[in-house]
């Protein structure tokens, strides 16, 4: 019986002398290379790139793609990641030559359309967040966090309050929050969650103080719960002289419903690749614009786009922290996010959040009898279950996740947030048809049944996938991180 073969590495397909793409013949007189470049600069050994033909490249990556899940393939309820449908028309407009092949250093007069787009997107994000000014430069959510924290730092420095070195973060926070705090040289002060899943206000009270530079919060938080004490929380931090940073990765729950600015936040980052539906691309590119209050606007990294009359131009904010990457941001991601906003309009964006929340609550209610629900209250766009009831059968959340793969869906986020044992974090988004949601519920229920009746089956999962459960420990112990030519 032949087994399904794996796909070889592209290097393993290489045959000496084989060619893929060829350039046009050189059309200028050729000069010997060593007349142009001293020999000491020249490479001794060419890079061992694969030697393959075009058809092999096409087949190789077509075959590989067929081993991969995607939103286009099926349900992808990965909590905190907002795996919604990525409209293809947005790819089309982003690929228009007038938007995809413009050079960042062209004269401003020759890129007025691009500047207009950036300007308008910044304005729209400001409206959506209830804040004043945006920078579109950060390349992803974590990059936005870094940028926001640098703004906080610059703000305190300017006020002579450099003793403020602590950022308060709840224990349910996404891992990038503390990591970003460390990146800017601040200290993390962690506060626990209370029994309703929100920030423990008493603990927060103890945590704030003269060293408080700010608070980073996701709201709804990574449990999918809206913090009912949000007014008290933001007030408390502000009173202590701290700034309020809103991690907008969960903004899909609140578009047009409540604005971070109105909750008392000073800085928001949006994950355009989540909330605004630009594709995740297997891990990027993203875009993590931040929006800030009027007061903080002068600190934004530059250049940002301004407008005078009909003319758009780049400008450097007065007290700018500098820049967080070369050029202006992940422009083509911005184009797609802008297209998404224009496709929805105000009522549409609100409906996005309403349906995202409706879908999550429906799923939560239909699963809570078979999986432990740690916080039994209305959730927002996502919710967290626990696999702890299944532990009695020796089944772990990882087994449940792997088993789901056999059902043709992606698993939820697992073991996160850290403050829920055996967590399963489920986010359906608004673009799932009810049939997909119901099928997922059915699969989850069946797996709960299997956990009782045939736990071994789950431990063997997945079995219908291109490879079985992979040995991660081995990978980490003796890392093989690349193909290597065997002589």
CA distances from 273 to 15, 125, 417 (A): 39, 14, 21
Q: Which residue has the tokens 């309050």?
A: 161
Tell me if 218 contacts other proteins by CB under 8 A.
no
Rounded Cα–Cα distance for residues 193 and 200 (Å): 5
- 253 prior amide bond cis, ω within 30: no
Tell me if 370 contacts a second copy by CB under 8 A.
no
Tell me if 197 contacts ligand PLP by CB under 6 A.
no
Please identify, using beta-carbon distances, which residue of 104 and 175 lies nearer to ligand PLP: 175
Please identify, using beta-carbon distances, which residue of 256 and 286 lies nearer to ligand PLP: 286
* Strand 383-386, strand 423-426: pairing: antiparallel
Interface residues for other proteins in 118-147 (CB under 8 A)? 124, 127-128, 139-143, 145-146
Interface residues for other proteins in 394-453 (CB under 8 A)? 401-402, 405, 410-411, 413, 416, 430-434
Interface residues for a second copy in 36-65 (CB under 8 A)? 52-56, 58-59, 62-63
Candidates 60, 42, 46; CA nearest to 16 is: 46
Please identify, using beta-carbon distances, which residue of 309 and 322 lies nearer to other proteins: 322
Q: Which stretch binds ligand PLP (CB under 6 A): 139-147, 162-170, 325-333, 341-349?
A: 139-147
Tell me if 277 contacts ligand PLP by CB under 6 A.
no
Please give the torsion angle defined by the CA atoms of residues 30, 31, 36 and 41, in that order, rounded to the nearest 10 degrees.
Answer: 70
Interacting partner of 457 out of other proteins, a second copy, ligand PLP, none (Cβ under 5 to 8 A depending on kind)? a second copy
The DSSP secondary-structure symbol of 110 reads G
Closest contact distance (angstroms) between CB of 257 and a second copy is: 23
Interface residues for ligand PLP in 164-193 (CB under 6 A)? 174, 176
Tell me if 333 contacts other proteins by CB under 8 A.
yes
Closest contact distance (angstroms) between CB of 121 and other proteins is: 11
User: What's the first-to-final CA gap in the chain, in angstroms?
Assistant: 33
Determine contact, residues 341/121, Cβ cutoff 8 Å.
yes
Tell me if 81 contacts other proteins by CB under 8 A.
yes
Determine contact, residues 404/447, Cβ cutoff 8 Å.
yes
> In this structure, what token pair is assigned to residue 436?
């997909």
Residues paired with 407 in a beta bridge? none
Q: Which stretch binds ligand PLP (CB under 6 A): 138-146, 236-244, 309-317, 427-435?
A: 138-146
Interface residues for other proteins in 284-313 (CB under 8 A)? 284-287, 301
Sheet holding 423-426, edge to edge: 383-386, 423-426, 413-414
Binding pattern for the stretch 68-107 against a second copy, x by CB under 8 A and - elsewhere = --xxxxx----------x-xx-------------------
Binding-site size, a second copy (CB under 8 A): 39
Tell me if 247 contacts a second copy by CB under 8 A.
no
Rounded Cα–Cα distance for residues 474 and 455 (Å): 25
Interacting partner of 135 out of other proteins, ligand PLP, a second copy, none (Cβ under 5 to 8 A depending on kind)? none
Interface residues for ligand PLP in 278-307 (CB under 6 A)? 286, 288
Rounded Cα–Cα distance for residues 317 and 299 (Å): 6
Tell me if 2 contacts other proteins by CB under 8 A.
no
Among 431, 437, 444, 448, binds a second copy (CB under 8 A): 431
Determine contact, residues 160/183, Cβ cutoff 8 Å.
no
For every residue of 306-343, DSSP letters joined together read EEETTEEEEE--TT----SSSTTS-HHHHHHHHHHHHH
Binding pattern for the stretch 152-191 against other proteins, x by CB under 8 A and - elsewhere = -x---------------------xx-xxxxxxxx--x---
Determine contact, residues 189/207, Cβ cutoff 8 Å.
yes
CA geometry: angle 372, 79, 469, nearest 5 deg: 80
Binding pattern for the stretch 8-37 against other proteins, x by CB under 8 A and - elsewhere = -xxx--xxxxxxxxxxxxxxxxxx-x--xx
The residues that touch a second copy, with contacts defined as CB under 8 A, are: 1-5, 13, 15, 18, 52-56, 58-59, 62-63, 66, 70-74, 85, 87-88, 406-408, 431-435, 443, 446, 457, 463-464
């Amino acid at each position: 019986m032949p087994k399904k073969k794996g796909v070889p590495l592209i290097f393993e397909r290489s045959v000496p002398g084989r060619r893929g793409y060829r350039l046009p013949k050189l059309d200028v007189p050729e000069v010997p290379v060593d007349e142009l470049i001293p020999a000491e600069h020249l490479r001794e050994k060419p890079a061992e790139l694969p030697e393959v033909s075009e058809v092999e490249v096409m087949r190789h990556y077509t075959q590989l793609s067929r081993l991969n899940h995607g939103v286009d393939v099926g349900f992808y309820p990965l909590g905190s990641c907002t795996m919604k449908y990525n409209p293809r028309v947005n790819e089309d407009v982003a690929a228009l030559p007038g938007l995809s092949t413009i050079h960042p250093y062209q004269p401003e007069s020759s890129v007025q359309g691009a500047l207009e787009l950036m300007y308008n997107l910044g304005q729209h994000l400001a409206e959506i967040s209830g804040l004043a000014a945006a920078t579109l430069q950060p390349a992803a959510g974590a990059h936005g966090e870094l940028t926001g924290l640098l703004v906080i730092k610059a703000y305190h420095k300017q006020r002579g309050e450099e003793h403020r070195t602590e950022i308060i973060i709840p224990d349910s926070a996404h891992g990038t929050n503390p990591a970003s705090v460390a990146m800017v040289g601040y200290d993390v002060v962690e506060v626990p969650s209370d029994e309703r899943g929100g920030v423990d206000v008493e603990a927060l009270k103890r945590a704030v103080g003269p060293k408080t530079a700010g608070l980073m919060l996701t709201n709804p938080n990574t449990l999918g719960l809206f913090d009912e004490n949000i007014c008290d929380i933001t007030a408390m931090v502000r009173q202590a002289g701290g700034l309020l940073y809103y991690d907008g990765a969960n903004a899909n729950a609140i578009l047009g419903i409540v604005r971070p600015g109105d909750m008392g936040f000073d800085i928001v980052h949006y994950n355009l690749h989540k909330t605004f539906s630009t594709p995740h691309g297997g891990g990027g590119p993203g875009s993590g614009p931040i929006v800030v209050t009027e007061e903080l606007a002068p600190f934004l990294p530059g250049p940002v786009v301004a407008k005078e009359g009909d003319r758009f131009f780049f400008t450097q904010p007065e007290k700018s922290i500098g820049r967080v990457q070369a050029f202006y941001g992940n422009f083509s991601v911005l184009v797609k996010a802008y297209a998404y906003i224009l496709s929805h309009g105000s009522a549409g964006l609100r409906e996005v959040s309403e349906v995202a929340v409706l879908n999550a609550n429906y799923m939560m209610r239909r699963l809570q009898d078979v999986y432990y629900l740690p916080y039994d209250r209305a959730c927002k766009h996502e919710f967290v279950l626990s696999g702890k009831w299944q532990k009695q059968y020796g089944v772990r959340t990882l087994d449940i996740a792997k088993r789901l793969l056999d059902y043709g869906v992606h698993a939820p986020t697992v073991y996160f947030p850290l403050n829920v044992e055996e967590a399963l974090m489920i986010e359906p988004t608004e673009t799932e048809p009810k049939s997909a949601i119901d099928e997922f519920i059915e699969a989850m229920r069946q797996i709960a049944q299997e956990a009782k009746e045939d736990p071994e089956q789950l431990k063997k999962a997945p079995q219908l996938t291109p490879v079985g459960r992979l040995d991660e420990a081995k990978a980490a112990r003796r890392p093989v991180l690349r193909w290597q030519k065997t002589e």
